[in-house]
Amino acid sequence: MRWILGDIHGMLDPLAAIVAVLRARDPHCELLFVGDYVNRGPDSRGVVDFLLALPNARFVRGNHDDVFDLILNDHWIGGDDARLTAGRACEWFTPHGLAQTLTSYGLGRDVIGECRRGASADVVRQIRAAVPAGHRAFFRNLPLVIDADGVVVAHAYWPPDVANGTSAIAWHLAADPHLAHQVVWHRWSVSALLADKPTWTRPAFFGHPPTMNYPPSLREIDVGPIVAPMVTLLDTAVALGEGGRLTAVCVEDGAIVQVDRAGRQISG
C-alpha cells in the first residue's frame, strides 16, 4: 500500500508515531511525503535524520525546504526573484519558523538575531557549517514532483488545465519556467477546488495551505484533509497549535490516519 503524508514542519514525535502506525499495518508500505520538513516545530534536525533513515520513502520539495535550500546551498527552485540571497532569505523566514530550525541545529540566539536583520555572509557560513553534509544534500536534491504509478504528489499545486500524465509532467516543467514556482509556492483557491474536476489522468496530492484555512464545508472532519475531485490537500497544521494533526491518506482505499502533536493516534 502507499500512503501520502502531510506537512511535518519539524514535528518529530508525530512523524515517528504515524510512521509506526502505518508500518504496523504494512511493514512494506511506501511512504510519499508532500514536503515542508523544517521550520515551526522544535526538531527539524531530528525530522531530517529520521527521514534519511526511512526505507521505502520518497520526498518532494516544499516551499520551506526551498528557502532552506537557498540558505544552505545558494539554490532554490521556486525563486522568481533572482536577487534573493541566502542572507535575505534568513531575514524573510526567521519569523516563519526558521529560528526553531536553526536552534535544532545547535545555533544560538546571536545567530538567530543576526538572521532577523538579514544574515551576513559570515552568519550564512556558520549556518552551513552547523548543518551536516547529508542534510544539505537532502534539500539540494529534493524534486518538484513524485511521478508515481497512477498518482502525482507535489507540495503546492499543479494547474488543473495542464496534463499530469507520466510523460506530460517533465515536458511541462521544461517548457514553462514559471511552473516550478507554482508547484512549490502556489495555493489552491476555493473556486478552483469547487470547479469541475481537473483535466488530469491521475489524482494528485498536495500539502502547503493548512486545510483549516478553507471553509469547513470542504472537509469531512473538522481537522482533516480536503478531498476534492482529483485533488487532496493534506496539511492539517500539526505545527500550528494544539489542535493540529499530522495526516496520512492511503492511495489505494482512501483510508485516513491522523496523530496529534504528541503522537497520539486520533483516527484510523
User: What is the per-residue pLDDT across 133-169, written as a single tens digit (0 to 9) for each?
Assistant: 999 999 999 999 999 889 999 999 999 999 999 889 9
What is the rounded average pLDDT of the residues 115-124?
95
User: Hey, which residues does 4 pair with through a beta bridge?
Assistant: 32, 249
pLDDT at 232: 97
Which range among 38-47, 68-77, 81-90, 144-153 shows the weakest confidence by mean pLDDT? 81-90
Instruction: Let me know if residue 119 belongs to a domain.
Output: no
- pTM for this one? 0.95
pLDDT of residue 222: 87
Residues facing 248 on adjacent strands: 5, 257
CATH number at residue 215: 3.60.21.10
Task: Report residue 36: phi and psi, to 5°.
Answer: 60, 70
- pLDDT for residue 52 is more than 90: yes
Residue 187 in any domain: the answer is: yes
Q: Left, alpha or beta for 65 (phi > 0: left; psi -120 to 50: alpha)? A: alpha
pLDDT at 124: 97
Alpha-carbon span 4 to 33, nearest angstrom: 6
Of the listed ranges 4-18, 27-41, 127-141, 170-184, the least confidently predicted one is 170-184
Residue 117 forms part of a structural domain = no
Q: Is residue 29 part of a domain?
A: yes
Quickly state the pLDDT bin for 82 (edges 50, 70, 90). low
- Position 80 pLDDT exceeds 60: no
How many structural domains is the chain composed of? Answer: 1
Query: What are residue 62's phi and psi, to 5 degrees?
Result: -95, 170
- Across all residues in the chain, what is the average pLDDT? 94
Q: How far, in Å, CA of 204 to CA of 155, rounded? A: 10
Residue range 62-78, pLDDT digits in tens? 999 999 999 999 988 86
Domain coverage including residue 56? 2-62+142-267
84 assigned to some structural domain: no
Residue 215 lies in a domain: yes
Q: Identify whether 37 is part of a domain.
A: yes
Domain assignment present for 97: no
More confident residue, 75 or 13: 13
Mean pLDDT for the stretch of residues 244-263: 96
Q: What's phi and psi for 71, nearest 5 deg? A: -65, -40
**174-232, pLDDT tens digit by residue?**
999 899 999 999 999 999 998 888 999 999 999 999 999 999 999 888 899 999 999 99
Q: What is the mean pLDDT of residues 48-58?
A: 98
